[in-house]
Structure 1
């Protein structure tokens, strides 16, 4: 039962911003280790590669370390090293990190994580973006940084009813920035963060100056004849350039062999969610497989992240029991009719080579009608801020320089 509040105590306004610190009860950590120790493993895969999914030996090694060597309290300390807050928007408590720059003319920037990520994937860029002079940049490139957790992810509330699709999250993010008294600001994102930033760009609320994404949506950028060929299994259109043909073949491979996870979560998030909520080893397999698929070092996430970094993120999902609620954003998106109109406010795109879809500039311009910045870089993957924080930070600075 929740503690009652006497009439003598001050009552918080509905839109109050409350300080937050991460602290998971010790009992939850003991239960996690017990469950890890009791894991019932499947048989080993019958192939010598990743074609059947997460390989048994690799997952067993990660889970063994999770049980015996990993320290969640260090992860909490990483989060608590930055100011964290909660505020209620549209009936949900939204968790966010808010780090103000020491530079007085810094530009406010809201930056959104994706799936299977969290605010952990963005922590490495907090210093370079808020205090660029200490990281090889200039004061003119500084940002006041806001890193929210998407509803259903991490320490944000889980929606109890339907409707929390990217368009609704985008409106909530504008409310958050205005509540923080930022009347002019920018938005950045990858994965779902990019989709939410796109939604913000379409809504174009007063004060939003522009967006930057490091993941481009296929459905709004692929030419119709290319989309038709992919859907029907036809050869690529004859008029494609060599670059476009390469993008076509990569998209075909991903849709054929790498998109099953999204189909499951988009149609049966509750069904897969029972496993994600009950088995930490199952949750780790579901996420570890995607880390392997999407990092620049394909199939070798250990070359992109430390074990602790991967387990910080996986543990956050486990300890907040958000494996199921986070999966529902896929269902919500399929269940809604999102606005897919072109984006007319200034937009910037950085293409990282390990991303699963890398459209040429001409395709990206189909969605971003005021594309002021487009660059292809030579390293980094889907988790760009996590994998290559210095390069990512440099790209964010460059992308937004003309939008300030």
Structure 2
């Protein structure tokens, strides 16, 4: 497997073009409805765009991102960008962490600090990890697949090959959002290598086979399925668009940084434990670092393509089918689905379940300390 070191270097012309587009934004008329009721609030978006155009320092963000050791590997013909950070300890445990949408590898900076160098946070150095954090195909610096058919299952095959190429024959996996789907696929397809998985989300396409005669739905499971359907009806329009008409959406978001900020920024507000105030959880600089990665790599269209592929290859488990490696689940209170433990146990061996006191969908960014501690606790059982 060919591996090259990688450093982010955005051309000055790209920065100039971004600033020109931001300052030339043609603003949509605001409606008389309350703020955020019909989507992204116009006043908030204007403030964010003005900051992006006039105050946000991409070069500072770029230098911070480049402090993480980054690489590009050719994995079975697919180029994959990844962060590979070695642990500070006697024998770090190997862990592959996968981001989701609308996130990126950048969301793991604070989490990696805690996982790779626990002693710096007063924790046991013997619980350090070697962390590999790849960028999903079509996200930021991982090019989109050249041919159709790359869903979470095929990404899992890429990750297994990448970890073997890095010298890790046995390892753990962690993920939320789309990354949870990849981690589940890793455990399902590569249980000879994957010792356990830690999740902070369960994909909405996950469906266990329900035997009404021997294991009927519990009241909690029925409530969960009703809530999931209600959420999909009122909040799931973005996912339906991603999975049915991704190229229609890509044409506008790839051309307008203000449109991109509206599409992604609204999700950071709606899905996080911020009580309606985004900057309770994410600074403008944090939001714009992530947005800028999508913008400069022109990857918004290729990123949502994964929704299309996952729709064609959803998680459907046959009667009696189970995922063999043990699973830990961290349930954050403001996650977009609040599923009961029994629903997960229909397919998974749940070895650890944690109800978190706070946090939402972007757990690695919102509560890196809580998430890191839960990951350390689970994977301790696999250490020599």
Aligned residues of 1:24 and 1:319 also touching (Cα < 8 A): yes
1:268 to 2:245 alignment: yes
Q: CA RMSD in A?
A: 1.9
- TM-fit CA distance, 1:337: 5.4
Q: Where does residue 389 of structure 1 map in the other structure?
A: 368
Aligned residues of 1:83 and 1:98 also touching (Cα < 8 A): yes
Distance 1:337 1:293, change over 3 A: closer
Question: Counterparts of 1:121 and 1:239 in 2: how far apart (Å)?
Answer: 36
- TM-fit CA distance, 1:360: 1.7
Q: Where does residue 4 of structure 1 map in the other structure?
A: none
Q: Where does residue 319 of structure 1 map in the other structure?
A: 296
- TM-fit CA distance, 1:49: 3.3
The residue correspondences of 1:29-40 to structure 2 (distance < 5 A) are 29-40=15-26
- TM-fit CA distance, 1:302: 1.5
Question: Counterparts of 2:229 and 2:66 in 1: how far apart (Å)?
Answer: 42
Question: Counterparts of 2:37 and 2:207 in 1: how far apart (Å)?
Answer: 29
1:86 to 2:63 alignment: no
The residue correspondences of 1:123-202 to structure 2 (distance < 5 A) are 123-202=109-188
Aligned residues: 377
- 2:328 aligned to which of 348, 351, 354: 348
Aligned residues of 1:223 and 1:363 also touching (Cα < 8 A): no
Q: Where does residue 203 of structure 1 map in the other structure?
A: 189
Distance 1:174 1:217, change over 3 A: same
- TM-fit CA distance, 1:383: 0.3
- TM-fit CA distance, 1:206: 2.5
- TM-fit CA distance, 1:205: 4.2
Aligned residues of 1:352 and 1:382 also touching (Cα < 8 A): yes
The residue correspondences of 1:30-69 to structure 2 (distance < 5 A) are 30-69=16-55
Q: Where does residue 344 of structure 2 map in the other structure?
A: 364
- TM-fit CA distance, 1:245: 6.5
- TM-fit CA distance, 1:23: 0.7
Scaled by the length of structure 2, the TM-score of the pair is 0.94
Distance 1:195 1:300, change over 3 A: same
Scaled by the length of structure 1, the TM-score of the pair is 0.89
- TM-fit CA distance, 1:140: 2.7
1:312-332 deviation digits (Å, cap 9, x = unpaired): 001100000001000100001
Q: Where does residue 7 of structure 1 map in the other structure?
A: none
Aligned residues of 2:207 and 2:315 also touching (Cα < 8 A): no
- 1:291 aligned to which of 247, 254, 268: 268
Q: Where does residue 73 of structure 1 map in the other structure?
A: 59
Question: Counterparts of 1:218 and 1:366 in 2: how far apart (Å)?
Answer: 15
SS at match of 1:154: coil
- TM-fit CA distance, 1:92: 2.0
1:225-276 deviation digits (Å, cap 9, x = unpaired): 99xxxxxxxxxx99615xx566455424311211000000100000000011
1:203-229 deviation digits (Å, cap 9, x = unpaired): 134221110010013443678599xxx
Aligned residues of 2:205 and 2:315 also touching (Cα < 8 A): no
- 2:11 aligned to which of 8, 15, 25: 25
1:21-59 deviation digits (Å, cap 9, x = unpaired): 011001000000000011101010231132210010010
Q: Where does residue 99 of structure 1 map in the other structure?
A: 85
Distance 1:396 1:359, change over 3 A: same
Question: Counterparts of 1:282 and 1:218 in 2: how far apart (Å)?
Answer: 26
Q: Where does residue 307 of structure 2 map in the other structure?
A: 330
SS at match of 2:263: helix
Question: Counterparts of 2:194 and 2:217 in 1: how far apart (Å)?
Answer: 40
Residue range with higher mean Cα deviation, 312-321 or 300-309: 300-309
Residue range with higher mean Cα deviation, 161-170 or 294-303: 294-303
Question: Counterparts of 1:298 and 1:274 in 2: how far apart (Å)?
Answer: 32
Question: Counterparts of 1:142 and 1:273 in 2: how far apart (Å)?
Answer: 40
Q: Structure 1 unaligned runs (5+)? A: 1-14, 227-236
Question: Counterparts of 2:27 and 2:231 in 1: how far apart (Å)?
Answer: 28
Q: Structure 2 unaligned runs (5+)? A: none
Distance 1:208 1:245, change over 3 A: closer
Residue range with higher mean Cα deviation, 18-27 or 293-302: 293-302
